[in-house]
């Protein structure tokens, strides 16, 4: 074959490619679009068939998966990446042995207070019947509390918890009043404090004390568990999760106080660590005299939120008017 013919053939091939390539690309693009649309239609038909398929007679339905709204886009990532220490692992095992379910496990460093609050509020809109969710931070104190509470009851866990549930509730107002009187005695015994003006300070010019609109997290890498406690009454979570002692009320005193605040204000325990307890209220207390009475009770319940926080009960009362979350911390 001559050089001229070879060049002619090459030019013809190049021209053919130049002409046919756009046509082929357009054809493939159209075919891909058509296949995609058909795939969507098949997927929708399959979904429709699965949705409409009736339950077979005598066959129990599988439990429904958690509502998607409980896991918003900004919810924490999967648990696989979380490193759990041996001690935290023991605590998690004990929580599950009590009959509680752990929905999520995250690190406090991997979730913001806003994210955690959003997840919690979404859950309250579609609660899991028969369960109350509490966010439990496994700091060293909470881990110790769980181990001490249950290490001798691993073989009779159900009976032990039932005995706590059967314990008669105490008079919450008496507990709060007694704690208030004890705090007053401590701070006024040396005669150096003007209790009414310096600690209570009704009507005095107040320092700003921020209202709480979210759950407060510690800045740590502690494990945070989303725990579903198998109770009908929100205050019975304290029969499963041992919170209290030392400077704070005893666990069953917390149960009585939680019942009182739930019935009076709709307050629900939503978070606990070894030394922090938080409640959620859908509607903050607004009425002046009512919020003053609540502030006095909270001061008796946990004096540190004033003496190491708001500085006066008046400041605490001001903050409660716009707070959807109540925060308690015992030093």
CA distance 157 to 207: 48
Describe the strand order of the beta sheet including 101-107 as a list of residue ranges.
101-107, 223-229, 132-138, 268-272, 276-280, 325-329
Which pTM does this prediction carry?
0.76
Tens digit of pLDDT per residue, the chain (331 long)? 433 344 443 443 344 444 444 444 444 444 434 444 444 444 444 444 444 333 333 333 333 333 433 433 334 444 556 788 999 999 999 999 999 999 999 999 889 999 999 999 998 887 788 999 999 999 999 999 999 999 999 999 999 999 999 999 999 999 999 999 999 999 999 888 999 999 999 988 777 788 999 999 987 889 999 999 999 999 999 999 999 987 899 999 999 999 999 999 999 999 999 999 999 999 999 999 999 999 999 999 999 999 999 999 999 999 999 999 999 999 8
Concatenating the DSSP letter of every residue in 286-311 gives -SHHHHHHHHHHHHHH-THHIIIIIS
What SS3 class is residue 137?
strand
Residues 202-226 as b/e (b if ≥16 CB within 10 A, e otherwise) read eeeebeebeebebbebeeeebbbbb
pLDDT at 219: 75
* pLDDT at res. 83: 84
H/E segment holding residue 223:
strand 223-229
Per-residue DSSP letter, 276: E
Separation CA 216–CA 110 (nearest Å): 14
Output the DSSP codes for 59-112: -PPPPPPPPGGGS-TTS---GGG----HHHHHHHHHHHHTT-EEEEEEEGGGS-
Cα–Cα distance between 197 and 268 in angstroms, integer? 32
Q: What is the pLDDT of residue 46?
A: 41
Predicted local distance difference test score (pLDDT) of residue 28 = 40
Task: Determine contact, residues 326/272, Cβ cutoff 8 Å.
Answer: no
CB neighbour list of residue 127: distance below 8 Å, 6 or more residues apart: 133
Whose structure tokens read 């109770």? 231
User: For residues 256 and 171, is the Cβ–Cβ distance under 8 A?
Assistant: yes
Sequence ranges of the domains in the chain: 77-165, 172-220+243-329
For the chain, count helices (H), then strands (E): 10, 6
């Amino acid at each position: 074959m001559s050089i001229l013919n070879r060049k002619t053939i090459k030019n013809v091939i190049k021209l053919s490619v130049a002409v046919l390539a756009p046509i082929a690309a357009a054809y493939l693009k159209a075919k891909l679009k058509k296949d995609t649309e058909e795939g969507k239609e098949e997927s929708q038909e399959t979904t429709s068939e699965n949705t409409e398929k009736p339950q077979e007679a005598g066959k129990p339905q599988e439990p429904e998966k958690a509502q998607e709204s409980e896991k918003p886009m900004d919810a924490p990532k999967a648990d696989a990446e979380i490193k759990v220490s041996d001690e935290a692992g023991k605590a998690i095992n004990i929580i599950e042995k009590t009959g509680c379910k752990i929905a999520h496990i995250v690190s406090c460093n991997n979730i913001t207070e806003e994210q955690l609050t959003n997840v919690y509020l979404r859950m309250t809109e579609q609660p899991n019947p028969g369960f109350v969710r509490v966010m439990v931070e496994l700091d060293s104190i909470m881990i110790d509390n769980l181990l001490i509470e249950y290490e001798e009851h691993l073989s009779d866990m159900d009976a032990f918890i039932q005995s706590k549930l059967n314990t008669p509730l105490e008079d919450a107002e008496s507990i709060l009043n007694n704690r208030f009187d004890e705090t007053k005695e401590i701070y006024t015994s040396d005669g150096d404090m003007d209790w009414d003006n310096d600690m209570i300070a009704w009507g005095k010019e107040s320092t700003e004390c921020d209202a709480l609109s979210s759950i407060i997290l510690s800045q740590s890498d502690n494990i945070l568990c989303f725990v579903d406690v198998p109770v009908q009454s929100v205050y019975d979570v304290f029969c499963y999760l041992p919170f209290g002692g030392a400077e704070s009320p005893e666990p069953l005193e917390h149960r009585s106080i939680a019942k009182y605040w739930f019935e009076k204000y709709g307050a629900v325990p939503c978070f606990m660590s070894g030394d922090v307890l938080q409640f959620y209220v859908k509607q903050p207390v607004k009425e002046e005299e009512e919020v003053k009475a609540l502030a006095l009770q909270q001061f008796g319940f946990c004096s540190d939120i004033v003496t190491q926080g708001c500085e006066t009960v008046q400041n605490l009362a001001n903050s409660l008017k716009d707070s959807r979350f109540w925060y308690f911390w015992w030093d």
